[in-house]
Amino acid sequence: MVSAQLHFLCLLTLYLTCGYGEEGKFSGPLKPMTFSIFEGQEPSQVIFQFKTNPPAVTFELTGETDGIFKIEKDGLLYHTRALDRETRAVHHLQLAALDSHGAIVDGPVPITIEVKDINDNRPTFLQSKYEGSVRQNSRPGKPFMYVNATDLDDPATPNGQLFYQIVIQLPQINDVMYFQIDSKTGAISLTPEGSQELDPVKNPSYNLVVSVKDMGGQSENSFSDTTYVDISIRENIWKAPEPVEIRENSTDPHPIKITQVQWNDPGAQYSLVNKEKLSPFPFSIDQEGNIYVTQALDREEKNSHVFFATAKDENGKPLAYPLEIYVKVIDINDNPPTCLSPVTVFEVQENEPLGNSIGIFEAHDMDEANNINSILKYKLVDQTPKVPSDGLFLIGEYEGKVQLSKQSLKKQDSPQYNLSIEVSDVDFKTLCYIQVNVIDINDQIPIFETSNYGSKTLSEDTAIGSTILIIQATDADEPFTGSSKILYKIVQGDTEGRLEVVTDPTTNAGYVKIKKPLDFETQPVSSIVFQAENPEPLVKGIEYNASSFASFELIVTDVNEVPVFPQRIFQANVSEDAAVGSRVGNVTARDPEGLTVSYSLKGNMRGWLKIDSVTGEIFSAAPLDRETESVYRVQVVATEVGGYSLSSTADFHLVLTDVNDNPPRLAKDYTGLFFCHPLSAPGSLIFEVTDDDQQSLRRPKFTFALGREGLQSDWEVSKINGTHARLSTRHTRFEEQVYNIPIRINDGGQPPMEGTVFLPVTFCQCVEGSCFRPAGRQDGIPTVGMAVGILLTTFLVIGIILAVVFIRMRKDKVENPQSPENKPLRS
């Protein structure tokens, strides 16, 4: 009766694991045991009943009972009031069995009571208000402060797992959160938007309301608490410094401090990034953020430097974005002027008016441009020869413009003058040289040696580039100058530009050459007129006259030429179902001599085309089929009628457009389809179809159906997409054989084409997932019965042979008795 009551009590107790000991029973012998009990349960809850064996009659409970745990004489262990895990999470008890005299007869044994946590404590923040600060442009995601809350519940259970979140941000601009919090640690940091937008000038402070929930924030029944966070925004001091200017080639001791960067908080590790890959890199930084130049710089080698300063934490992670450091190298006057060339050559015509510019002389200074160090002054210090007098030239002090200063020059006085020019900057002087060549003025015109070069007869197939005539004119001006150089041009008789004249620079001879093909049919005779002229303009008062012109007659003779097609390839499009005899295209050719042209076809391998020999019209001569050949290529031969029967060819391409004239078919061989027999469940197989017509840009859309209505009780065909379908069984009652399933397929074309295909499906016994098919009897291979018969016959023959041999040996022994020692050997 007591056992039944105990069982009833255990069933009523909520979450009562105590009703079961380590062996999952309500009662049992005295032995070490551990029980788990939820805190907060009603008192007088039964835990376990220990049983005794005589002479034990009662029990004694000691240890951390805290006045809560009791045991009755009959071994009934229970607790008298609710447990509190936060007061004591584990109770260590000792239990002994006593006899009637109070002596211990069994034990004591350890009894452990583990108090399991329930969510009976709300989380609380350590402070009702937190204050913090952050620099503007701080790295997003890097914590700058923490909020902390505690929960007395077991942190190993969801009851003690805390979840932080920001509930309110004030001000909140454009609904953008500038702050974020780690939901597990309470670490507050900037969002990417906050890193970019925070500005102490606009909003020097922000207020946050932060909540914390237990149960990991995942339960509606979780407890929560809130706190306030005041955050002040401080100005970011991690800023790129102003550009630095360093005077080049400094002789001061190095390194020299040039600027400084500073992270917002102490402890940052600074470094420089040499993105220009300079070697050696002439800058360094110490751990105070001071940046130094470590050697003298040369502006002419590199006039500025750009590199970056970085700040990292103790783990080597960047604290913010790198800062650009710009260093400008200030010029000093450390380079003398240089001449652009050893000698600068100018030319001046004789009789050039006074003041005319002969040329602009330039020198160079490697110091900084547009700077006092690179401004150059020019001074003429010598003239050779000094005839007819000295001081014939002058030069602009800063511009470098060379001019005639006294009188015009005459070549007979001196054909050449050498000038010495002093070029100076603030500190340096350099001597440069100018050579002035006095050139003859163009006061003589070219004169042809003859005004008529007669006639020249050429065939119209004369090769391009051939020289057909050499013409010659002379000029009395100074040789090898622009005044005496002769250029020839054709001014009459060659409107098509078939000829050109190339001048020999040494002899001034003109080589008349073929530039474009000659054509008897368009211009059999041409009267060509040449003009000779100088590249330099003639002086005032001198004009070209008839002496600078010459002519000759070009006669072109006819050459029989092949017919000419207007294009190399002709193409036509036609539907593949065009009727035999339909006109599909037209080809024409022209004979240059005006002869009649006859047409024929070449390479008409399939005999699909024929051509009208007179008009060049092309017709279909047989049914066309795009699936056999989508582009049919032939050659058209044009032959002149009469003359030498010369011919030429052109290509004719007939592009066949598709007509839906092919029924659907299976895309591949499906002879290997099978199901393992017997079927355990309805199965399915997937197959693919296609057809030979041209596929459009959209995927083909085939429809599928069973070929016979009588198959619908056993089979089902369903469409997967435009080209694939699934054949499924409707039941499992199939025999072990091959089924040929007809499938009707429609391609949905214009007009629609329909075809029926057969899928052979085998039901067979399977071995390791593969279909097992017993091999049938083949010619020359015996059956099992025949093999057994052959084997028995072989054994019978061997037995008969052995019996005959044995009988013969016995007979020989009787007829010829011999002792073993004297037995003769038998051959």
- Please give the full DSSP string across 3-26, using - where no structure is assigned: HHHHHHHHHHSTT--TTS-TTS-S
**Is residue 818 predicted with pLDDT exceeding 80?**
no
DSSP string, 473-527: EE--S-TTSTTT--EEEEEES-TT--EEEEE-TTT-EEEEEE-S---TTT-SEEE
Q: Confidence class of residue 739 from pLDDT cuts 50, 70 and 90? A: very high
Token readout for 62 is: 């000691």
How deeply is 794 buried, as exposed, middle or buried, from its count of CB atoms within 10 A (0-12, 13-18, 19+)?
exposed
> Quick check: 465 and 455 in contact, CB under 8 A?
no
**Is residue 712 predicted with pLDDT exceeding 70?**
yes
Which range is least confidently modeled, 127-131, 229-233, 695-699, 747-751? 695-699
Write the class of the CATH domain 124-234. Answer: mainly beta
Q: What is the pLDDT of residue 631?
A: 94
- The Cα 213–Cα 163 span in angstroms is 5
**Residue linked to tokens 């300063």:** 309
φ, ψ of residue 377 to 5 degrees: the values are -120, 140
Q: Which of the pair, 510 or 806, is modelled with greater confidence?
A: 510
- The Cα 151–Cα 225 span in angstroms is 11
Average pLDDT over residues 735-740: 91
Assign residue 21 a region (left: φ > 0; alpha: ψ between -120 and 50; beta: otherwise): beta
Percent of the chain residues past pLDDT 90, beyond the cut: 54
3-state secondary structure 528-541: EEEEEECCCCCCCC
Choose the most confident range, by mean pLDDT, from 6-10, 264-268, 525-529, 778-782.
525-529
Residue (of 273, 326, 331, 269) closest to 299 by Cα position: 331
Percent of the chain residues past pLDDT 70, beyond the cut: 92
**Is residue 20 predicted with pLDDT exceeding 70?**
no
Distance of CA 88 to the CA centre of its chain: 63
Token readout for 213 is: 């929930």
Average pLDDT over residues 586-599: 88
**Is residue 42 predicted with pLDDT exceeding 50?**
yes
CATH superfamily name and code, 244-330: Cadherins (2.60.40.60)
Which range is least confidently modeled, 30-34, 408-412, 419-423? 408-412
**Is residue 17 predicted with pLDDT exceeding 80?**
no
Peptide bond into 774 cis (omega under 30): no
> Quick check: 258 and 247 in contact, CB under 8 A?
no
φ, ψ of residue 16 to 5 degrees: the values are -85, 90
Strand order in the sheet with 187-190: 145-146, 187-190, 179-181
Distances (CA, A) of 628 to 655, 668, 692, 695, 745: 12, 20, 10, 15, 23
Angle at Cα 302 formed by Cα 300 and Cα 308, nearest 5°? 160
Classify residue 464 by its DSSP letter.
Answer: T
> Quick check: 676 and 762 in contact, CB under 8 A?
no
Pairing state of beta strands 179-181 and 187-190? antiparallel
Q: Confidence class of residue 330 from pLDDT cuts 50, 70 and 90? A: very high
Architecture of domain 446-557: Sandwich (2.60)
Show Cβ contacts of residue 559 under 8 Å, excluding neighbours closer than 6 positions: 459, 460, 461, 520
Greatest C-alpha distance within the chain? 165
> Quick check: 60 and 47 in contact, CB under 8 A?
no
Token readout for 346 is: 């100018």
Q: What is the pLDDT of residue 775?
A: 52
pTM: 0.38
**Is residue 353 predicted with pLDDT exceeding 80?**
yes
Q: Confidence class of residue 447 from pLDDT cuts 50, 70 and 90? A: very high
Average pLDDT over residues 219-240: 90
Classify residue 711 by its DSSP letter.
Answer: G
Q: Where are the alpha helices (DSSP H) in 557-674?
A: none
**Is residue 826 predicted with pLDDT exceeding 50?**
no
CA dihedral 473, 476, 482, 483 (to 10 degrees): -110
Q: What is the pLDDT of residue 15?
A: 32
CATH superfamily name and code, 665-771: Cadherins (2.60.40.60)
Distance of CA 475 to the CA centre of its chain: 68
Q: What is the pLDDT of residue 6?
A: 39
Question: Do the domains 124-234 and 338-439 sit in the same CATH topology, yes or no?
Answer: yes
Distance of CA 777 to the CA centre of its chain: 62
Q: Confidence class of residue 120 from pLDDT cuts 50, 70 and 90? A: confident
Q: What is the pLDDT of residue 460?
A: 82
Q: What is the pLDDT of residue 322?
A: 93
Q: What is the pLDDT of residue 774?
A: 58
**Is residue 238 predicted with pLDDT exceeding 50?**
yes
Q: What is the pLDDT of residue 787?
A: 62
Q: What is the pLDDT of residue 702?
A: 86
**Residue linked to tokens 């652009």:** 340
Average pLDDT over residues 601-621: 94
Q: Confidence class of residue 813 from pLDDT cuts 50, 70 and 90? A: low
C-beta neighbour count of 540 within 10 angstroms: 7
Q: What is the pLDDT of residue 257?
A: 95
Q: What is the pLDDT of residue 221?
A: 82
Average pLDDT over residues 367-391: 92
**Residue linked to tokens 């009727």:** 579
- The Cα 408–Cα 62 span in angstroms is 137
Q: What is the pLDDT of residue 788?
A: 64
Q: Which of the pair, 710 or 23, is modelled with greater confidence?
A: 710
Architecture of domain 569-657: Sandwich (2.60)
**Is residue 697 predicted with pLDDT exceeding 70?**
no
Q: Note the pLDDT tens digit of each residue in 264-294.
A: 888 899 999 988 887 889 999 999 999 999 9
Token readout for 393 is: 């030239």
Strands (E), 558-713: 569-575, 583-586, 597-602, 609-611, 617-620, 631-640, 647-657, 665-666, 674-676, 684-690, 703-706
**Is residue 816 predicted with pLDDT exceeding 60?**
no
Q: Confidence class of residue 9 from pLDDT cuts 50, 70 and 90? A: very low
Q: What is the pLDDT of residue 356?
A: 87
CATH superfamily name and code, 27-116: Cadherins (2.60.40.60)
Domain ranges of the chain: 27-116, 124-234, 244-330, 338-439, 446-557, 569-657, 665-771
Q: Which of the pair, 3 or 86, is modelled with greater confidence?
A: 86
**Residue linked to tokens 């029990």:** 59
Average pLDDT over residues 617-632: 92
Report the mean per-residue pLDDT for the chain: 87
Which range is least confidently modeled, 41-50, 668-677, 725-734, 807-816? 807-816
Q: Note the pLDDT tens digit of each residue in 555-569.
A: 988 777 788 999 999
φ, ψ of residue 815 to 5 degrees: the values are -75, -30
Is the sign of the CA dihedral 384, 387, 389, 395 positive or negative? Answer: negative
- The Cα 45–Cα 13 span in angstroms is 7
CATH superfamily name and code, 338-439: Cadherins (2.60.40.60)
- The Cα 35–Cα 49 span in angstroms is 12
Q: Which of the pair, 226 or 265, is modelled with greater confidence?
A: 226
Average pLDDT over residues 596-608: 94
**Is residue 785 predicted with pLDDT exceeding 70?**
no
**527, β-bridge pairs:** 553
Q: Note the pLDDT tens digit of each residue in 627-648.
A: 889 899 999 999 988 767 888 9
Average pLDDT over residues 44-71: 88
**552, β-bridge pairs:** 528
Q: Which of the pair, 626 or 805, is modelled with greater confidence?
A: 626
Q: What is the pLDDT of residue 662?
A: 80
**Is residue 434 predicted with pLDDT exceeding 80?**
yes
Q: What is the pLDDT of residue 14?
A: 33
**Is residue 521 predicted with pLDDT exceeding 70?**
yes
